[in-house]
Amino acid sequence: MKAWIERQLKKYNRGKVFVHFHPHAELRMIDRGADVDKIVETVRKGKVLERKSTAPNRIAFSFFFKEGFTYVVIVKLYPNSFQVRTVWKRKGRI
């Protein structure tokens, strides 16, 4: 993992951090049939996607669920929270 991502994630407890949604992400969740609980679980437990993350404060996470879907979530880091900016739901693994 890149050093800047490690430094940023050390500041947060991903299991307890407050997760809120950007208005754009809320609209796209409805269009793409995404589930809010699965998005939050992706942020808390997902692996970091370095290629989709951009310094200094946007990190991408992905998580594969048993139902056969992978969620990719891009979050913007704030001092006390993560803001979900973009959500993709895809069939299969990435």
**CA quadruple 65, 71, 77, 78: dihedral sign:** negative
Q: What is the pLDDT of residues 22-38, one digit of tens each?
A: 998 998 888 888 999 99
- Looking at CATH, the fold of the domain delimited by 3-91 is given as YaeB-like fold (3.30.2310)
Task: Give residue-wise pLDDT tens across range 68-79.
Answer: 999 999 999 999
CA–CA separation, 7 and 63 (whole Å): 21
Please give the distance of CA 79 from its chain centroid, rounded to a whole number: 16
Residue 94 has pLDDT above 90, yes or no: no
Average pLDDT, the chain: 93
